[in-house]
Amino acid sequence: MRSYRGARIYQASEEGEGTVKAAIAVFDHDLDVIQCPELTTHNIVVVRIRTQAWEIAAASVYFEPDKPMDSYLEHLRAVRRKLGSRHLLIGGDFNAKSSWWGSLTEDSRGEELCSTLDELELQVLNSGTLPTFDTIRGGRRYCSHVDVTACSADLLCLVEGWEVDEGLTSSDHNGIKFRINLKKSLGTAIKSTTRTFNTKKANWVQFREKLAQFKIEENINQTKFEEIENSQNLEKTINKYLELIEKSCQETIPKKKNLEKITLPWWSQELESLKKEVTTRKRSPLRRSSPKADRRRRVPATQR
């Protein structure tokens, strides 16, 4: 996809065989976007989108209609394993049909995709009856529901207004629009540091002794590093060494106390207003049934 002024385009590099068929365009320059190159191919693009208050992972996909889905579905599993189970959004042309996203028929590709989405605990967001693919060829209309949007369970209640927009693009695929309600709540404070341990109060003598003990137990030494023959073993050894450092910190260094006020990033002003309204309504019956309220409502017999 060509670059455009005012837009950032994320896609696979031109290296390698095949045509790039998936991309993500970002028009808001206030968003911090990081592409995941290890998860990006010509048919699947994965990025992390974040602000100070929240972060989501987004994937744009295109499944070739004449190729088996196995490799594509395995790639989605890899995306899930790499990025975790929270705040994940996937959308694109899967070339699969199922009643779960509006098709009148269901094919084997749709069954495979449904099974994988269920396995990955992803929720289908499609709604309505408008086709996502709609075109005229040779005087005949062709339409279908092959474009799917799915998200992790924690985003399900935050996605609003999913709809097919027939006038959004000039493509034979209709546009799809929706909103994600991830506004930063008022007064929310975001952690400004990732530090876990209070190094000012560290006992470095004990730390060195504990680390030396763990290194002996795990056989992490100069000889171990000299015997490394490939990058996989090197990474494995380094990760083990870092694990021992963290374990030594946990036993010899006190943790920092977090004095910052942290609130849920999905909490909005609308929810705050509803919460106050619920509290008010809960209190009203109590006030009406209190002894003072009963005395105020009583009317002397002489005035009846």
Residue 258: the pLDDT is: 60
Backbone torsions φ then ψ of 149, nearest 5 degrees: -120, 130
| Mean pLDDT, residues 100-128 | 94
Number of H helices, E strands in the chain: 8, 12
Helix, strand or coil, per DSSP, at residue 16? coil
Residue 275: the pLDDT is: 79
Could you report the per-residue pLDDT of 120-140, keeping only the tens digit for each?
999 999 999 999 999 888 889
Q: Give the tokens for residue 63.
A: 């499944």
Q: Give the tokens for residue 122.
A: 């992803």
Residues 6 or more apart whose CB falls under 8 angstroms from that of 238 comprise: none
Q: Residues 152, 154, 158, CA angle at the centre, nearest 5°?
A: 105
- Among 86-90, 103-107, 282-286, the least confident range: 282-286
Q: Does domain 8-180 match CATH 3.90.1150.10?
A: no
CA distance 176 to 61: 14
Pairing of strands 88-93, 55-62: parallel
Query: Domain spans of the chain?
Result: 8-180, 199-252, 269-298
Q: What percent of the chain has pLDDT over 90?
A: 48
CA distance 259 to 193: 12
Helix, strand or coil, per DSSP, at residue 262? coil
Cite the beta strand spans of the chain per DSSP E: 8-10, 24-26, 32-35, 44-50, 55-62, 88-93, 122-124, 133-137, 140-144, 147-152, 159-165, 175-180
Residue 124: the pLDDT is: 95
Confidence of residue 303 (pLDDT cuts 50, 70, 90): very low
Angle of helix 70-83 relative to helix 108-119, nearest 10 degrees, comes to 20
Residue 110: the pLDDT is: 95
